[in-house]
Amino acid sequence: MRVLCVTTFFPNAADPQRAVFVKNLVQAMRRRCAVDVISPVPYVPPLPPFGHKPEWRAQRAIPYRESIEGIEVRHPRFMVLPHLGWLSGVGYFFGVLRALRRWRRELPPQESGVVHAHCAYPDAVGVVLAARLLGLPCVVTAHGSDINVYAAKPALRFQIRWALRNAAGVIAVSGGLQDKIAGLLDGAPARLERVPCAGFDAALFQPQKPHGVRAQLGIPPQARLVVFVGLLVPIKGVEFLIEAWANLAAAGKLGSDDRLVLLGDGPLRAALTQAAAARGIADRVVFAGMVTQPEVARWITAANVLCLPSRNEGTPNVVVEA
């Protein structure tokens, strides 16, 4: 059997730490079967007022083909129009159809193929439609916000429902997500499965003694360390964590060495930095930026507490890793 993983959740040249858990899953699957990867890249035309934003320029610079730790990845483009997100599934379909047709054509006659799409929107909407037209079975993994947030929007809800109903199988990464999908589909089909998480590197994330790791990171043994791992975007609720840390400081409950460490980057970084400064805790909050998986493991080992104040999640991989 040959599997084609199609997802925007995959590392690339512009964002090498993006959705590393999916890359790890692909690497694990390749020990059992052949796996190919197509990771579509959103394309916003270089026109004002949106097309010249740095994040879209960075996306346009991603190569059409690259190798990620020995995995050959293709990056077809799909059209995205800001403020018209309900059309992204259609754009995704046209973006991946040619790539899926080519993959099916290259399948050896004796080998069966299955498509695996990560995220119910826009990925599954576009991929399930393309796979059905090409006679390929498609399995969809829902990760959290695609069901908790996107499916709550009327313009997206019917598209997501159609994709999940027409998929060969649906995987939910938590029991709560499984229940929501069952509700969305008016009853759980036999092909709806739950897995405990999307997978993680068990060799990397394993219990260690924190003292040696703290010494490497320059953290005093007596320091209390709270760590957050994730994108600095609204759904992650990091502003609540900043506020809580500021309240502890104002109440005199933080020691001089205690720190809040934020691992990750995103559009809210400047606003969160300003918020920390405004509350007088700029020296007690560390904005570490994007870090590698080994560095995440070190910080989690050194931490007293991992805090994830998200507004919505499925089963966050970082919680399982911690």
Q: Are residues 125 and 238 in the same domain?
A: no
**pLDDT 10s digits, 124-160:** 999 999 999 999 999 999 988 899 889 999 999 999 9
Q: Are residues 244 and 176 in the same domain?
A: no
Strands 41-43 and 138-142: unpaired
Alpha helix (H) residue ranges in 43-153 = 54-60, 88-106, 125-134, 145-148
Backbone angles phi, psi at 49, to 5 degrees: -95, -5
| Residue 237 covered by a domain | yes
**pLDDT 10s digits, 73-102:** 999 999 988 878 889 999 999 999 999 999
Q: Are residues 65 and 165 in the same domain?
A: yes
| Residue 203 covered by a domain | no
Burial class (CB in 10 A: 0-12, 13-18, 19+), 236: buried
Q: Which of 136, 170, 194 is the last residue of a domain?
A: 194
Q: Domain tally for the chain?
A: 2
Residue 215's domain is classified under what CATH number? 3.40.50.2000
**pLDDT 10s digits, 21-37:** 899 899 989 999 999 99
Q: What integer is the mean pLDDT of 211-238?
A: 90
Q: What percent of the chain has pLDDT over 70?
A: 93
Tokens of 242: 């900043």
Q: Are residues 45 and 143 in the same domain?
A: yes
| Residue 202 covered by a domain | no
Q: Are residues 41 and 173 in the same domain?
A: yes
**pLDDT 10s digits, 132-141:** 999 999 999 9
| CA 165 – CA 159 distance, rounded (Å) | 10
More confident call, 58 vs 95: 95
The strands making up 169-172's β-sheet, listed across from edge to edge, are 65-68, 71-74, 34-38, 2-6, 113-118, 138-142, 169-172, 192-194
| Residue 199 covered by a domain | no
Q: What integer is the mean pLDDT of 220-228?
A: 93
Q: Are residues 155 and 232 in the same domain?
A: no
The residue behind tokens 């799909």 is: 78
Q: Are residues 221 and 168 in the same domain?
A: no
Q: What is the pLDDT of residue 292?
A: 87
| Residue 204 covered by a domain | no
Parent domain of 256: 210-321
Give strand pairing partners of 37: 5, 73
Q: Are residues 173 and 237 in the same domain?
A: no
Q: What is the pLDDT of residue 134?
A: 96
